[in-house]
Amino acid sequence: MTHDAEVIVVGAGPAGSTVATYLARAGVDVLLLEKTAFPREKVCGDGLTPRGVKQLIDLGLDTSQEAGWVHSRGLRILTGELTLELDWPDLASYPAYGVSRTRHDFDDLLARTAMKAGARLHERTTVTGAITDERTGRVVGVQGKAGEDKRPVAYRAPLVLACDGVSARLALSVGIDKDEKRPMGVAVRRYYRSPRHDDPFIEGHLELWDRSDPARPRLLPGYGWAFPLGDGTVNVGLGILSTSKAFRNTDYRALLRSWLDSTPEEWGYREENAVGRIGGAGLPMGFNRTPHYRDGLLLLGDAGGMVSPFNGEGISAAMESAQLAAEHVVQALARPEGPSRERVLRRYPEALAEEMGGYYRLGNAFARAIGKPAVMRAATKYGLRVNPLIPLVYKGLSGCFDAKGGDLVDRLISAASRLTPAPR
Ligand SMILES: Cc1cc2nc3c(=O)[nH]c(=O)nc-3n(C[C@H](O)[C@H](O)[C@H](O)COP(=O)(O)OP(=O)(O)OC[C@H]3O[C@@H](n4cnc5c(N)ncnc54)[C@H](O)[C@@H]3O)c2cc1C
């Protein structure tokens, strides 16, 4: 069979461009197919915790402020009654700063990094499904439509990597469905011109209040964020978990407005300061689509449901999965097709589970618990007032802890992750 590349990567978001970069640097011939054209917008909060920054550094990117990144020194947690400012922890595994950058810039930078490494990027190419070998059922390529005229295209390669995000069209085309028992999220965001654009802290709002009727403040469902972008604007948004009653039967855009209209006027989160429209999308969490490898197809990032159930962060996991996928694909391609190669590829989902599986099981249990308003209320009311608990909550929620070694808090989170049983 003739091949168009050694590896086809579908989707040039953080997962796709990162894995394409690592593979191309290792000398692999990579075809990267992307339905849009860069630079383009992608609905996101635009924020990376230190866990994500580590991934940028691993990729060899300059993460300095001079190179266009806005640095954060920590997280400000706000509830109705309480405000806590916490610096990012000082760890062996991750640097002590987070970064923000619009996905308009960030994804363009990642795609250019992949091309510089040698990956062949085909933009405006929408993959509609996998091509499978009739006899074995193995994925041997992809088909789709390219260009303005939507001409049919087909490409073949021994390995295909699904990095097509939450729509997961490629995985669906071979019957890899999502597990409805795992949590999902929905999130919406908008940019606002605001004097808080150069705040050194990113913000997490654990309670969203509608105070339009001061006599009757109303607690709204969901959790909010404000990530300063240093360019005069702040990315402000909110998310709701599928474990909450409000999931699905909520007008998310109206909810965002109700919350923001009740924030202090001087923050500037008002209609007249809004830049662009409210955008929203789903957050596939806690490994809600598996297996992550089957019959020549690997799932990475959102396509494999890798958003953290603790905090909705998905970029770092997308890039971590890319690093692991690249390692296994390079080793696999160095072996002859057949059982020996398959043995390596089957190690990819195992490596992912070792890296994130336990933490996500714990996260899935956490998402189920905080879906109940009483549990969430008690956690914010009491948990954040008990000083010894704060580092545990903070490191646990942000995913910033040393999985090996570390202090007592790090070891507690690692132990809890190991001990949380898989859901039935
Ligand atoms: C409102 C909101 C706020 C968020 N905030 C944050 C945050 O602040 N920090 C964070 O870490 N995470 C955040 N996330 C999650 C984060 O956006 C995702 O987890 C992350 O983008 C996943 O990266 P990915 O590469 O797997 O997928 P994507 O970034 O979705 O990339 C997929 C790529 O594939 C392309 N594609 C899709 N279908 C096809 C197809 N059929 N053919 C060809 N190409 C295709 C897309 O155009 C895209 O370029 C947020 C999500 C939302 C919805």
pLDDT tens digits along 33-44: 999 999 999 999
Measured between alpha carbons, how far is 383 from 148 in angstroms, rounded to an integer? Answer: 54
> Which segment of 209-213, 291-295, 300-304 scores lowest on mean pLDDT?
209-213
CATH 3.40.50.800 fits 7-49+101-181+286-365, yes or no: no
- What percent of the chain has pLDDT above 90? 75
What is the best residue among 9, 32, 145, 283 to mutate for testing ligand 1's pocket, by most ligand atoms within 8 Å of CB?
283
Largest CA distance in the chain: 73
Say how far apart CA 29 and CA 6 lie, in whole Å. Answer: 5
The predicted pLDDT at position 219 comes to: 82
* Binding site membership of 320 for ligand 1 (Cβ less than 6 Å): no
CA distance 389 to 395: 10
Helices (H) and strands (E) in the chain, counts: 11, 21
Distance CA 297, CA 171 (A): 8
The burial class, CB within 10 Å (0-12 / 13-18 / 19+), for 44 is buried
Q: How far is CA 368 from CA 65, 245, 282, 327, 363, in A?
A: 38, 11, 17, 34, 9
Q: How confident is the model at residue 205 (pLDDT cuts 50, 70, 90)?
A: very high
Instruction: For 8, list phi and psi in degrees, rounded to 5.
Output: -105, 130
- What is the 293 CA–ligand 1 centroid distance (Å)? 20
Sign of torsion over alpha carbons 387, 389, 390, 391? positive
Environment class of 238 (CB within 10 Å of its CB; exposed 0-12, middle 13-18, buried 19+): buried
Start-to-end C-alpha separation, the chain: 42
- Amino acid code (one letter) for 252: Y
Confidence of residue 160 (pLDDT cuts 50, 70, 90): very high
Q: State residue 423's pLDDT score.
A: 54
- Which atom of ligand 1 is nearest to 46's Cα? 8
For residues 259 and 237, what is the distance between their CA atoms, to the nearest angstrom? Answer: 10
Q: Provide the whole-model pTM.
A: 0.96
Are 356 and 306 in contact by the 8 Å Cβ rule? The answer is yes
Helix (H) or strand (E) holding 9: strand 7-10
Q: Which two tokens stand for residue 212?
A: 């339009």
C-beta of 43 in contact with ligand 1 (< 6 A) = yes
d(CA 163, CA 318): 9
